[in-house]
């Protein structure tokens, strides 16, 4: 598909970062753009000045639009989206719009997408992949659910008019994939699928199926062999590649003698060594899986083993993802605020032998019982915060009754940012009382943050500020 497949008259529903970017690009291309949202954001004045029509909150689409571009935050049962479907209007997300608006160099093809989804590890894997592609000489960028909106990236041009990028490392959430129908990445990866976002999708099966959409049109499908749901999704694919923390078999990337090894794309029967594990600057088994997945997609893109090794070895990781903030009185304080669901928290907790765990927030319907049961033996103490803290407290009472815990009341009324910095100062002070030298105080909340903080980044910054204040 090309830009000619996008109708002239478009309603942009939801004016967050991706919605504003979509409206700007459509206006620059001469489309008739209408705008709707529950409140009027600051960007409306700029967009109206560029020719858009501001319609405010809508329950039904106007008669004069032929396509709706929805925000990933809007659920499928939003009245406006239901009404659009009832009228036979196509509803797409910003990534699907971007796919249709891609530009190509003279006589060439648009930049290929190498796409990653999963419950956890998406951002780390995609930014690792960006580093791998760049090490291989590609003009690559990470975009989508991380970095810049895709509509900006796929239409970006250099001064001479050529496309700015020749390869895209694309992170796609289940929300974005729900509204995508024609995206055909050159390679796609489902890292893992665990209980999350059931409140948005309506069921785990619907959430899983949304993740699987990334594989439909991809010639190569990648998954973690250790995740049963993801492995099952790619097993039916015509070219399935899996990654493993064990010795790799044929068609796999894995670990042998302390090194990442490729036996899926290498011509050598024993495979090729890509990089020594000790060279990686991000630690933990989950990050090894992320590196293997990034390497697999790099191989799909034709990057050689040496460049993959350089890209992975040079990768330093992102903010709020298992970052050591400091050591106070022999206790390490680690920020993994990005662990917003039980699956992510489990991976984080597994990296440390004895933990004072900071947990709680908005659980989004996720079941915390398996997590608490699995990590109970590692816990030196627990500090609970956020709206759903009592659900965690009940699980701890069942599976870790002897572990001391402190509850910091917060987030009870669902208001955004209820003095989050003060709350986190109390949380860190409580964790300090529970910890002893050699322990790790770990912020891995297993929950979303918006009951107390603006977002997970605000939560992580508040944690780091509170830790620094201890010293």
For 305-333, the pLDDT digits (tens) are 999 999 999 998 777 888 889 999 999 99
Tokens of 110: 């648009």
Superfamily of chain region 7-94:
NAD(P)-binding Rossmann-like Domain (3.40.50.720)
Residues of the chain with pLDDT under 70: 1-4, 413-418
- Residue 95 has phi, psi (to 5 degrees) of -65, -40
Q: Is residue 320 helix, strand or coil?
A: coil
Helix locations, 202-284, DSSP H = 204-212, 228-235
In the chain, CATH 3.40.1190.10 sits at: 102-313
Q: SS3 for 446? A: coil
Q: What is the CATH number of domain 323-470?
A: 3.90.190.20
Report yes or no on whether pTM surpasses 0.85. no
A 10 A CB-CB count for 41 gives 15
CA gap 81, 100 in Å, rounded? 20
Instruction: Let me know if domain 102-313 sits in CATH 3.40.1190.10.
Output: yes
- What's the pLDDT at 281? 84
For 25-34, give one letter per residue: b (16+ CB within 10 A) or e: bbbeeebbbb
- Rounded Cα–Cα distance for residues 245 and 442 (Å): 24
The pLDDT of residue 199 is 75
Residues carrying CATH 3.90.190.20, the chain: 323-470
Cβ(130)–Cβ(202) below 8 Å: no
**Given this model, what pLDDT does residue 418 score?**
59
Per-residue DSSP letters for 156-213?
Answer: -B-TTSSBS-SEEEEE--HHHHHT-SS---SEEEE----S--HHHHSSHHHHHHHHHG
Q: What is the pLDDT of residue 413?
A: 61
Q: Is 311 helix (H, G, I), strand (E, B) or coil?
A: helix
Q: What share of the chain is helix, strand, coil (3-state, %, to 5)?
A: 35, 20, 45
- CATH 3.40.50.720 in the chain is located at 7-94
């Amino acid at each position: 598909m090309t830009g000619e497949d996008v109708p002239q008259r478009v309603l942009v529903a939801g004016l967050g970062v991706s919605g504003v970017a979509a409206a700007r690009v459509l206006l620059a291309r001469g489309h008739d753009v209408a705008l709707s949202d529950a409140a009027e954001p600051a960007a409306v004045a700029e967009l109206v000045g560029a020719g858009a029509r501001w319609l405010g909150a809508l329950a039904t689409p106007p008669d004069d639009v032929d396509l709706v571009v929805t925000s990933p935050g809007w659920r499928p049962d939003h009245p406006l989206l239901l009404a659009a479907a009832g009228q036979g209007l196509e509803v797409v997300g910003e990534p699907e719009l971007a796919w249709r608006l891609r530009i190509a160099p003279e006589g060439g093809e648009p930049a290929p997408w190498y796409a990653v989804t999963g419950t956890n590890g998406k951002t780390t894997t995609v930014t690792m992949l960006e580093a791998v592609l760049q090490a291989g000489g590609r003009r690559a960028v990470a975009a989508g659910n991380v970095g810049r909106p895709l509509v900006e990236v796929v239409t970006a041009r250099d001064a001479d008019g050529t496309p700015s990028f020749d390869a895209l490392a694309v992170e796609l959430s289940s929300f974005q994939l729900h509204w995508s129908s024609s995206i055909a990445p050159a390679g796609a990866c489902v890292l893992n699928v665990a209980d999350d976002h059931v409140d948005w999708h309506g069921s785990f099966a619907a959430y899983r199926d949304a993740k699987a959409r990334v594989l439909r049109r991809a010639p190569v499908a990648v998954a973690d062999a250790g995740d049963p749901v993801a492995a099952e999704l790619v097993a039916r694919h015509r070219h399935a590649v899996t990654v493993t923390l064990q010795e790799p078999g044929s068609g796999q990337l894995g670990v042998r003698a302390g090194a990442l090894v490729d036996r899926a794309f290498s011509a050598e029967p024993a495979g090729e060594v890509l990089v020594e594990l000790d060279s990686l600057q991000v630690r933990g088994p989950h990050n090894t899986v992320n590196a293997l997945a990034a390497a697999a997609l790099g191989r799909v893109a034709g990057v050689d083993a040496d460049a993959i090794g350089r890209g992975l070895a040079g990768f330093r990781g992102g903010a709020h993802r298992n970052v050591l903030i400091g050591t106070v009185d022999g206790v390490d304080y680690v920020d993994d605020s990005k662990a917003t669901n039980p699956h992510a928290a489990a991976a984080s907790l597994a990296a440390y032998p004895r933990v004072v765990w900071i947990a709680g927030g908005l659980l989004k319907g996720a079941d915390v019982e398996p997590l608490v049961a699995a990590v109970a033996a590692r816990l030196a103490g627990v500090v609970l915060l956020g709206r759903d803290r009592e659900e965690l407290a009940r699980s701890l009472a069942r599976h870790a009754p002897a572990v001391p815990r402190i509850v910091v009341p917060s987030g009870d009324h669902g208001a955004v940012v209820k003095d989050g910095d003060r709350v986190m100062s109390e949380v860190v002070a409580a964790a300090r009382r529970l910890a002893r030298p050699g322990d790790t105080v770990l912020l891995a909340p297993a929950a979303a943050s918006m009951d107390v903080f603006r977002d997970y980044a605000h939560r992580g910054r508040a944690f780091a500020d509170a830790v620094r204040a201890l010293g």
